[in-house]
Amino acid sequence: MNQVTSVSEPVSGEAYFRELCDQLGIAVVATDAEFHITLWNAAAARLFGAGAEQMRGTPLLSVFPMERRQVAERLLRRALEQREGNEFEFDYKDPGGHRREFAAAIAPIMTMGGDCSGVSLCVRDITKRMALQSDLAESQKMAALGEMAGAVAHHFNNVLGGIVTSIDYAHQSDDPAVTRRVFDQVSRALVRTSALVNGLLAFSEGGPHEDNLSDLTELLNGLADETEFALQGRNIRLETAIDSLPVTPVPREQFQIVLHNIMQNAMEAMPEGGLLTLGARVEGEGVVVLVSDTGRGLDQAGVARMFEPFWTTKGALATVQGRAAGLGLAIAHGIVHRMGGTIRVQSQVGKGTTLEIKIPRDAHSNAP
């Protein structure tokens, strides 16, 4: 005989959904069109340390710290008026006085008639995740600093070792010609050392503290002409896609260093030839400069290390045309950062790399 198991019918209607919402492991908050709290589930009570009876009817903005309320209100109004969801992170001091990191997903609440009656928030405690990310970032930074320190020490040991050897040789000789030759070698070694130190300073501080201003369009057109000449006989074709830009003053010498280093890196990525593209466009309140190549490209690990001083795909402590490799992009990154800009990288192995430099239109005011 088949055994029949009876299944109780689920509770239906508003009570069912309220019970379901209350038992969720994530804080759920809902408001009316005036952003007064209408729903506050049990998880929200645990997260914020206040029960539904206490919070129902209070302004939702009172939950957020004072310094984040303006941003929160803007996102809430966007959800209410434009039916647009968004995400928002904020600090919260719990009843024990501990700082917590919360992430909230904001969404409009729509009625059957298509109107927006309020907003909802789903809030998660991301404190542990943020702490883990911070620890990981710190360990990665320390590892990168360790590698950089080793590379700097290696370079200086090579230079200083050569200087000591040359001076010892000169001490053992009474020939003035030998002494002059040693002085020349020592002078060249010190010039290389000075260039190395200046490169590290440019990476950390953004380069010289005084610079003449030039219009970005002028610099880009000049760079295109110089690159055309440099590409002769290299089987690399240059294409430009420079939109009509507003007058954008930038520190001339510093930004020339940025562009030359990035273009040089792109050309070196295409030893068998390819296509090099230089572009620029307006984006929001800034200007974007794009440099693309069709070279060998990088994997994710390579992209993550692209701006580390002395890291290079050419081999450890490599040299290119007599200069130390691995500082060009690091210097470019330092200068752009000091100008208030950003550099983003997109790369795919076998297909090439694109560097996107975004600077504010008043980048010169941020330059050192």
Residue 121 shares a structural domain with residue 181? no
Structure tokens at 2: 């088949």
227-279: pLDDT as tens digits: 888 888 889 999 999 888 888 888 888 888 889 889 988 998 898 899 999 99
The last residue of one of the domains, among 146, 169, 203, is 203
CA distance 50 to 32: 19
Instruction: Give the residue with greater pLDDT, 169 vs 367.
Output: 169
For the chain, the distance separating the N- and C-terminal CA atoms, rounded to the nearest angstrom, is: 88
Residue 325 has pLDDT above 70, yes or no: no
Split into its structural domains, the chain has a count of 3
3 is a domain residue? no
Same domain, 228 and 187: no
Assess whether 92 and 51 both reside in one domain: yes
Q: Are residues 246 and 186 part of one domain?
A: no
Q: Give the whole-angstrom CA distance, residue 156 versus residue 119.
A: 61
Residues of the chain with pLDDT > 70, as a percent, come to: 77
Pick the residue with more confidence: 143 or 58?
58
| 151 plus 19 within the same structural domain | no
Q: Are residues 212 and 183 in the same domain?
A: no
What's the CATH code of the domain at 58? 3.30.450.20
Assigned domain for 2 exists: no
Same domain, 235 and 351: yes
pLDDT above 60 (res 322): no
Q: Give pLDDT, residue 358.
A: 92
Query: For the segment 153-207, what is each residue's pLDDT rounded down to a tens digit?
Result: 766 777 778 788 878 877 787 788 878 888 888 887 777 777 666 666 655 554 4
149 band by pLDDT with thresholds 50, 70 and 90? low
Q: Do 239 and 323 sit in the same domain of this protein? A: yes
Residue 301 resides in a domain: yes
More confident residue, 366 or 122: 122
How much is the average pLDDT of 93-113?
83
Residues forming beta bridges with residue 236, ordered by sequence position: 274
Query: What are the tens digits of pLDDT across the range 115-144?
Result: 899 999 998 888 887 777 666 666 666 665
Residue 99 lies in a domain: yes
Residue 1 has pLDDT above 80, yes or no: no
Give the per-residue pLDDT at 274. Answer: 92
Domain boundary among 125, 152, 176: 125
- Residues 188, 214, single domain; the answer is no
Instruction: Specify whether 223 is located in the same domain as 345.
Output: yes
Q: What is the pLDDT of residues 33-42, one digit of tens each?
A: 999 999 888 8
Residue ending a domain, among 105, 125, 145, is 125
CB 176, CB 192: distance < 8 Å: no
3-state secondary structure 276-291: EEEEEEEECCEEEEEE
Does 268 reside within a domain?
A: yes
- Same domain for 111 and 198, yes or no, is no
pLDDT for 145? 61
Whether residue 4 lies inside any domain: the answer is no
Residues shown for the chain = 368
Domain that holds residue 248: 207-366
Would 135 be classed as within a structural domain? yes
What's the pTM value of the predicted model, to 2 decimals?
Answer: 0.47
Asked, for residue 35, whether it belongs to a domain, the answer is yes
